[in-house]
Each structure stands twice: as C-alpha cells, then as structure tokens.
Amino acid sequence: MSKMLAAVLHDFDKLVLEDVPMPTPKEPGDVVVKIVSTGICATDYKAIKGIRRNVKFPFIPGHEPAGIVAAIGPGVVHFKEGDEVICQPSGYCGYCKHCRVGNTHYCDHAFTTGGDGPEDVWAGSFAQYMRTKEQCLFAKPKNISFEAAGLTEPLSGAWKGVVQYSQMRLADDTVVIGVGSIGLLCMMVAKAAGAGRLIAIDPSAHARQMALKLGATHAIDPFDGDTKRKVYDIIPDGPDFVIEAAGPIQAVKLMVSLLRRGTKWNVFGITTHEKFELDGGLTHFLEARMDASFGTTPLAMQNAIRLMETGLVDTQKIITHKFPLTKIHEGLEMMASPNSNKVCILP
C-alpha cells in the first residue's frame, strides 16, 4: 500500500510526522485531493495544544485546504483528476431537515475533515493527500493562488457572520475586537461591505499595524487606557456593529461594554465554555441584537470565492508565514507569536 507523510495527533501536544497509508476513494462520491496549501486555524492549534479538548486520538488535523484532484470514486461527475479545487471541511447529507433549509452545518449526519463539531471526523489536510466528498469541492478560479484559496473556509465564516447573519449595512460604524487572521478577514469583509469608521482592537502592535494596512480607520490597544472611552471618542454615538473575533472571555465582556441602543454584536471568536453576564433590563431597553456564527455552508463558501475572485478581499495579504509539512512544528510555534497572522503549510 502506498504511503504518504502526515502530521498525526496522538495526544495533546503530541503531533508526530509519520508515514501513513495514502487515502483512496472508498465509497461513491469520494475524491482524493493532493494538498497544495492548507492554513493553520486557531481551532487546530487549540486542539493540538490541548486548549480544545473535544478531540479523539489519533487523528490528522487541518481543515483549510486547497489542492488538486488526485483520484475519484464512482459516481463523481463534476470533477476529474487534475482539477484545481478548494475544499469545504464540513460534509452533509443534503436530506435532513437542516440541510433542506440550507443549514448544512447543522446536518444530522455531518462529517468533518480535520476539524471539530460532528462526531464523524475524517483525516484532515496536514498531510500530502486527503479524502473527502465531491459535494465538498469547489473549483478554484485561476486568478486565486493556492495559498489564498486555502483561506476560503475562514473567509466564508467571516462572510457568514458579518453579512449573512449580522446583516451589516452600508456605512455601519464597526468595531472588530481581535485582529488575528480571522479578525482580519472579518474586518476585510466589513470593509468590502462598506463599513464607515472601522476600529481594530488588539493588544498586538503587529496585528494593529496589519489592520490599518488592510483598511481599518483606527486601531486601539485594549491594555492602554480606557478602551470604551477611546472607541466613543472616535464614534461619539457608539458603534453600529461589534464583532468579537478574539477568543478570550475578556473580549466578549469588552464587546458588551461597547453596546448602545440598536448595536448589532456577533460572538464570533470565543469557542470555549466561559460565562459572561448581561443586565436583563439594560439588554431589554438597548435592543442590541446578538448573533453568533460557526462553521460554513456551500452558500458561504461560494460567496467567499466570489469575494476573492473579484478582488474585493485578498486573503493572500494576511499570510505572514509559510512552512513545508516537514516543519509544521515551527509553524505551530509561530502561531503563538504576536508577530504573525496567518500561517500556512505547503505539503
């Protein structure tokens, strides 16, 4: 049996590079993709480091790939060997009540390649090849690089949260708390959607500088003085829209403190089970609208591809580091650096 190199997680903080059997199409609709580029998501990092505990060992992480079709199974009609593709990590049945209304990320029979959420977890993209389903593939436009295409899934999540769920409006004064890679993508989608004043909040000077370079009108260090006062100095009437894309519970609490009447707020970045408090009466009279967003759907993926293809969002601009698969551990260490944004693995 042919072998390939993969990064296999055997336990928390025990990611091992080893030769494993190369995947082959097993069932109708199966496709094997040669991975050309895959991003490291914060959720991958959290799983590897043990910050996220909903992990079954052993498994191959990685869920932001783009590559080339290497083999197809019976019944595959829309793709052929050699096609350049973008992979959606979440598979779905298409027939349950959730899929029928477009919420494929709620699917009762879902699987995921290298990610989290469903019980059925397939080997992911920190490998030379990956098996998935034809329904999870999208044709990669020729004018998008493989590295940029590998960020379609996080960009689709940003579009889904900012545009589809929170229904951002033209000229909304917007605050993004946390401008790591996913926060930058949320910010870039907000910019493309016509944000008015666009404030980036992050303790990293590197992240703030990157945000200003990519369209933020202002950047604030949350550890340098009264953050709420600084935001309201820039937006005297308060923000129309606040996106939490940071992760720590303190970011959610800061978001709540920034609300005024009618503010839209999206709990996007926090994935750990921590608590924050709301004043019931104040929440009632503010009429602030809370949304949240996780995962992706074919609709979100297709819109993300359109954003890249038309040049409205250039995901290549947030990539700061690239590593071969053989140096994935260096890539993971770079994830913890305040001087990085998106880290990509090029198997």
Give me the pLDDT at residue 195, please: 98
CB count in 10 Å sphere of residue 303: 17
User: Which residues share a beta bridge with 91?
Assistant: 111
Render the burial of 74-92: b for 16+ CB within 10 Å, e for the rest: eebeebeeebbbbbbbbbb
Domains and CATH numbers, the chain: 3-150+314-346 (3.90.180.10), 158-292 (3.40.50.720)
Ramachandran angles phi, psi of 102, nearest 5°: 95, -5
User: Which residues share a beta bridge with 31?
Assistant: 72, 132
Q: In tens digits, what is the pLDDT along the chain, a chain of 347 residues?
A: 699 999 999 999 999 999 999 999 999 999 999 999 999 999 899 999 998 888 999 999 999 999 999 999 999 999 999 999 999 999 999 999 999 999 999 999 999 999 888 899 999 999 999 999 999 999 999 999 999 999 999 999 999 999 999 999 999 999 999 999 999 999 999 999 999 999 999 999 999 999 999 999 999 999 999 999 999 999 999 999 999 999 999 999 999 999 999 999 999 998 888 999 999 999 999 999 999 999 999 999 999 999 999 999 999 999 999 999 999 999 999 998 988 999 999 99
Strands (E), the chain: 3-11, 14-21, 30-39, 65-72, 84-87, 90-91, 111-113, 120-122, 129-133, 137-139, 174-177, 198-201, 218-220, 241-244, 264-267, 289-292, 319-324, 342-346
User: Which residues share a beta bridge with 19?
Assistant: 5
Rounded distance between C-alpha atoms, residue 148 and residue 308, angstroms: 8
Tell me if 131 sits within 8 A of 87, measured CB to CB.
no
The pLDDT tens digits of the residues spanning 210-246 come to 999 999 999 999 999 999 999 999 999 999 999 999 9
